[in-house]
Structure 1
């Protein structure tokens, strides 16, 4: 009984805006993992909400990241809708060596520049927040372009975010990102299966 009262008290102190952001955020990631194009409208709703949430939490790098996500979600929606005539969905791609090198350089440079700027503000964890932001920038590009390895980046950065949001008392958001880890793992497994199936079909077409 005490547990139920504690849970009710905790729920009453939750921010309604954060609850909506969590629900739409979970829906968009789940649908993306399932290779469903309808993940993008839910993603757009979620990032708009989190612009306000992160501003209040003084996570300015994360707030700025939402504006980027908004643009990339619109781009991803457009890109996923441009499937080949012979395909039901846009095919899953694999990361190449050049993309790995460029991504690593971009993450290091972005983290240093943004972290150096944010440390002179009231921002929380300027370099760690900037590093997560940089990783998220790269992962979102790969998600929009349907590159399989985007899920591995998300798993890594979401684990870090769980700790950050716990320390910032954004408990619902921390729970959401913990669930993101599981969904990202599911997304990687499902997309890898799709990629293998697509590769097998292409090989059969080539032989024929």
Structure 2
């Protein structure tokens, strides 16, 4: 498909997108921006975005995608609770993954990839079950790390974004591919910002 055809398709999608979908996208972007600055309001924004996404996907008949978004709601609620579970303690600090965390991440990716690939291949008309499963599996692992306030969440989420962009173009969804590129850039910035926070805290401890 030529560049002008991609551009026409994107403009057509923008014209056909209703306000509810734009609200869901706006809340999703707000969630990532809030996560970038380590703001707890990322969870309410994320929950609202995913609830709207589940509703929109159900209306579109994309039941498997609705189920996957249900996972994001659960992880957002868990992350919110984990962050403020004890009022008398300081907020959960940003940290790096331990060996145990990486084992859990590997388990999430491997387990969810196999399950999703089998479900997509055997129970849906998906033409890209492995590709789709990989994008979702890495995003699931990234969401778990985000809930645990681990800086590596940005790496996993951007792995998902990197594979998601060409997948969306392949499915002739250039508008959503462009939005995913924006999320990728925000993810890079988020990693840099969180790294600065970790380094500042380490420097403060050394001075003490």
| TM-score normalised according to structure 2 size | 0.83
1:159 corresponds to 2:162: yes
Structure 1 stretches lacking a partner, 5+ long: none
Report the counterpart of residue 94 of structure 1 in structure 2.
96
Counterparts of 1:6 and 1:159 in 2: how far apart (Å)?
21
Counting only pairs closer than 5 Å after superposition, residues 18-167 of structure 1 correspond to structure 2 as 18-55=21-58, 61-82=64-85, 87=90, 89-124=91-126, 125-167=128-170
Aligned length: 200
Distance 1:164 1:59 in 2: 17
| Equivalent-residue separation in structure 2 for 1:10 and 1:58 (angstroms) | 18
Q: CA RMSD of the aligned region, Å?
A: 2.6
Classify 1:7/1:173 alpha carbon distance in 2 versus 1 (closer, same or farther; 3 Å): closer
2:146 & 2:154 partners in 1: Cα distance?
8
In structure 2, relative to structure 1, the CA distance for the partners of 1:161 and 1:52 (3 Å cut) is: farther
Closer, same or farther: CA 192–59 of 1 in aligned 2, 3 Å: farther
Deviations 1:161-206 (A, max 9, x none): 122223334443222211110000011000001011112223333x
